[in-house]
């Protein structure tokens, strides 16, 4: 399939797709509304196929990359859903200790893109763990649409406890220095912000286009926070000034960036919303942030 870019689509259609991805409209409603954009032999269903993730594009770090070791692990989560499974990535050099980074997925579960992000973290000399919030309903089903449906069936509060359990487990691993960070995307960006509130020993949090925590909770944040948003993601961008003001007022170490013309999901390299320049810059800033606040 030919790779498309966000600029190939009207913003109204991209906004409609964003509503669909977040469960605000169902598939039928998306197809009905997308019909007016179906031109040149392209159907509404065809538009959806083009906008959906193509995981053939996702792999930046091969699964057998010699710099890392990967495995699946299951973490006890007695306060959550009992346990949570995830993808563990460690630097191949087994003699050293490394800072740890939790990698939190979007509202689809642990898909190939997020696994690749965990490998990217691992190749930067961190121990990475990407938990699957869908563990209690059978795990990521291999299809984002089905994953989104399963996501809606998981108790959100218990899932939150699963991520706390995963973070504490990762921090305590023998190859970990005990310094912990978190990076999350979309839903996972909100989780990153929530973990910054929940975990007083979190060293760094990097939410990509995530929902901000309640302003009253920002006083609990001890982590250094790096916020990424895309300019066209107007709902979340509109909420950023209030979050920034609360971070400033509570003297939290932070930086925040709004990437010009960036869409929601601009870092996800499996969809047309991917913005290569913004994604690479945001990722370099992320690794630099972790190096500064977890390794120093």
Question: Is residue 126 predicted with pLDDT exceeding 70?
Answer: yes
Q: What is the pLDDT of residue 212?
A: 97
Question: Is residue 78 predicted with pLDDT exceeding 60?
Answer: yes
pLDDT tens track for 144-177: 889 999 999 999 999 999 999 999 999 999 999 9
pLDDT classification of 2: cutoffs 50, 70, 90: low
Sort strands 176-185 and 224-230 into parallel, antiparallel or unpaired: unpaired
The lowest-confidence range among 54-58, 148-152, 191-195, 199-203 is 54-58
Query: What is the rounded distance in angstroms from the CA atom of residue 177 to the CA atom of residue 136?
Result: 30
The lowest-confidence range among 49-58, 66-75, 195-204 is 49-58
Q: Averaged over 125-137, what is the pLDDT?
A: 98
CATH T-level fold of 57-295: Rossmann fold (3.40.50)
Q: What is the pLDDT of residue 1?
A: 57
Question: Is residue 39 predicted with pLDDT exceeding 80?
Answer: no
Q: What is the pLDDT of residue 96?
A: 87
Alpha carbon separation from 164 to 23, 83, 92, 197, 295 (Å, rounded)? 25, 11, 26, 11, 22
pLDDT tens track for 268-282: 999 999 999 999 999
What residues does each domain of the chain span?
A: 6-52, 57-295
Q: Is there a contact between 246 and 214 (Cβ–Cβ < 8 Å)?
A: no
Question: Is residue 25 predicted with pLDDT exceeding 90?
Answer: no
Q: How many CA atoms lie within 13 A of 23 on its CB side?
A: 15
Neighbours of 110 (CB within 10 A): 25
Sort strands 68-77 and 82-91 into parallel, antiparallel or unpaired: antiparallel
Q: What is the pLDDT of residue 106?
A: 96
Question: Is residue 295 predicted with pLDDT exceeding 90?
Answer: yes
């Amino acid at each position: 399939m030919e790779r498309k870019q966000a600029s190939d689509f009207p913003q109204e259609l991209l906004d409609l797709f964003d509503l669909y991805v977040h469960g605000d409209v169902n598939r039928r409603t998306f197809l009905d509304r997308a019909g007016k954009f179906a031109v040149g032999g392209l159907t509404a269903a065809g538009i959806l196929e083009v906008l959906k993730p193509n995981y053939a594009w996702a792999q930046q770090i091969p699964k057998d990359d010699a710099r890392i070791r990967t495995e699946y692990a299951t973490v006890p989560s007695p306060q959550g859903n009992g346990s949570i499974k995830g993808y563990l990535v460690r630097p191949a050099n087994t003699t050293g200790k490394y800072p740890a980074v939790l990698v939190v997925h979007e509202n689809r579960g642990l898909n190939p893109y997020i696994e690749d992000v965990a490998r990217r973290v691992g190749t930067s000399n961190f121990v990475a763990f990407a938990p699957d919030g869908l563990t209690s309903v059978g795990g990521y089903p291999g299809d984002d649409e089905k994953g989104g449906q399963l996501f809606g069936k998981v108790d959100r509060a218990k899932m939150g406890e699963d991520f706390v359990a995963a973070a504490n487990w990762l921090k305590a691993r023998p190859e970990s220095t005990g310094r912990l960070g978190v990076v999350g995307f979309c839903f996972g960006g909100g989780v990153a912000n929530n973990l910054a509130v929940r975990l007083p020993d979190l060293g760094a949090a990097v939410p990509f286009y995530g929902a901000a925590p309640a302003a009253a909770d920002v006083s609990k944040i001890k982590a250094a926070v790096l916020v990424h948003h895309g300019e066209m993601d107007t709902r979340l961008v509109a909420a950023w000034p209030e979050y920034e003001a609360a971070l400033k007022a509570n003297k939290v170490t932070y930086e925040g960036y709004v990437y010009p013309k960036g869409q929601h999901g601009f870092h996800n390299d499996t969809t047309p919303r991917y913005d290569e320049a913004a994604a690479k810059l945001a990722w370099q800033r992320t690794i630099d942030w972790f190096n500064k606040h977890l390794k120093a």
